[in-house]
Structure 1
Amino acid sequence: MTVFVVDDDADHLAALCDLIEVGGHTATGFLQAEHAIEAARKNPPKAILTDLRMPGMDGMALTEAVTDMAADIPVIMLTGHGDVAAAVKAIQAGAEDFLEKPYDAQHLLSVLNRTLRAQATRAELARLQTELAQQADTILGENAALVALRDQLSALAPLNVDVILTGETGTGKELCARILHTASPRTTGPYVALNCAALPESLFEFEVFGHAAAAFPGALEKPGKLESANGGTLVLDEIEAMPLPVQAKLLRALQERQVERLGENQLRPLDLRIITTAKTDLRQAITEGRFRADLFYRLNGAELHLPPLRGLGPDIALIFAHYATLAARLYGRTAPDISISLRRDLQRHDWPGNIRELKTAAERLALGLGPSLPQNAQAETLPERVAAYEAREIAAALDRFNQSVERAAQSLGIPRRTLADKMARYGIKG
């Protein structure tokens, strides 16, 4: 691993570089901290070992400069006996560790190796979290409704049209909004979400439209959500909760693609895409006088309905297994087995919280706590008991013959194709 060494004493710098090379790493020496920072911006090292007291930029300033950089570069400080207090300040400023002179060579290498291992662990954790986030941002399942939803999202994402996403709580409206933004030409622009149900009516205009300095006593200039999303995507979450007076003002801003902050007369241009989410039928809200019809038709460039989880059949177990596997990987545990009986219980459960509830149950299973499903299913019917028995016998036969489908079919006295069909039906892997 590449380690930068910074010291204004050329002899000490050369000795430190030799020691680090002997320790199995690549050392690059710098007599000036400014040169080390410049090189780190171009090609970040795995760690920096620096003296505290140096002319020009000292070790403290170097630590602060490294902390301001986006890269994770741990800094180890070398200090004189009287500089321990300063070294503690350096730790508070972001340094990883410090060594007091004179230091033991083996101890220095030990501290360096520990620091490099910690940095590698952080890098791996960040990689895994990024990978998990990417895997989580997908819509799984082969149900016709889910296939249609994926196709609709793929078709709409590149287009600059506003979209309304309607579905029960936890059906994945936020995920769909993220997919539409990420797969659009606006992906490098801001993604701004406004929870319309969480804001009191008195604050709506301030949050949506922003305000000028001195718009009210003590007010500082602040852009609203519309301006903040300029060049990107604005998500109006649970728009059915937006007060009618604000709806009228929002409609005007969207029609003119301009916004006027409270307390000023200047119109500011808007370039943004609006994605609206709703838990209830907005057409029914229009009928009941709770939502403006003209705003609905202005937002409704396209409307997508997200299916509830309870109607997805076998896909429920597939989605559950996906989240259980992700959780197991995140917590460093073995992916749990999804038994036939658990698959049955998953399909019987009503899932009032939809995907959000299922994800929590999957994480509980991954942690060994059990999915904690309510016992709301009816007693098994005869066909269900027969199917459960058949699934157990098939799984046992496969285990006896080391997952050989051919030999298991022979022992069960059924054609191989019939066994393969039953395995697919019951979710049994050979």
Structure 2
Amino acid sequence: MLPIDEPSDLFLHRETLTPSELALSAKLRAFVEGSVLPVINDAWERAEFPRGLLPELRDLDIAGTTIADYGGPGMTLREQGLTAFELSRGDGSVNTFMAVHSGLAMGTIHALGSPEQRQRWLPSMMQLERIGAFALTEPDHGSDAVALETTAERRGGRYVLNGRKRWIGNGASADIVLIWARDTSDGNVKAFVLDRAPGEDYPAGYDATDIAGKIGKRAIQQAEIDIVGLEIPSANLLAKSHDFRDVVAALDRTRLNVGWAALGHAVAAFDIALEYANERYQFGSALAGYQLVQERLVGMLTKISTMYGMCFRTTELGEIGDLTGTMTSMLKLHTAAASREVCREARDLLAGNGLLLENHVARHLTDSEINHTYEGTESIQTLLIGRDLTGISAFRRHARSETPATAESP
């Protein structure tokens, strides 16, 4: 028989969790079921982040994930993965909000900032008093973000930035915005921090507008940003930010979580479909009693089982320092595609009822489409893996390219 509490966990991966990991999982699941699910569909329809959840998110002590100093929780990689899994099992927008804030913004400041810069920004971000964003992608540069055109020109004690950004999570509401721009003095891409006090207007030269009309992850806003003559103090250039390899390293750190998030969406959709199949009667019998339905459920479980195995194994390799970029590319490639397929099957099993937000599957399905795109599309991950497999790069390189970019920022 399948595990009663976790029918999706056929190979008993959760049996390997430590008491602290189980406690974290239970805490997050209680938050999702008690606080997220009752409000998320309304927020999704309005395309607004449910900011009333911020105090509870703060009290969960998950901001910063693996950061152990500056007030951080010091999670293991597996605890970080479980956080992405449990939040995504509830809602993709809530997970992405925290992934942008904790992983991309805080993680980059911690990795590339000086001790003074870390102390200046991280403690308040740990408390969600100040929200972070990571501005990399541009209207004309998504997968080839290495060719970004936003510039930063040094003028005395400040840099003047000009350019455009697009698809920037939290970009129109964040207080700490990491803007990746090309330093005109040496041509290298570096991270510059826009720093505003909560509630204040953005400085002149930074004009951010939320993108409307998304089909997925509607409860987190992505912004289009016009940057014209934006002045950033030279002290806000991240001290260890030197070139585009720092971007690649930041995305490598977060891509592991995309796999766990994909697993969360798939497990949520599978659980809903399995319960529905047992409770829904047609032609005098439960749907679960029909061969075609059982075939679909087994196919979904098989995909989820491979996702579980990849998430746990890549995380284990990360803990011991053996995880490579090719491994995380394969993780992202497979889990994103499998999650989308599982969610699609679940939506189909619920038939017309699967189209209703109240049954949650439609939200996971459209969120899985977004998960499939950001942090590097399927094509980009394939080319990265193919390059390492064959030793031959199939990318068409920009004249300035150092390394192909691997992601559209969430």
Task: Judge same fold: TM > 0.5, yes or no.
Answer: no
Please state which band the TM-score falls in when normalised by the shorter chain.
under 0.3
Give TM-score, length-normalised by structure 2.
0.27
Give TM-score, length-normalised by structure 1.
0.26
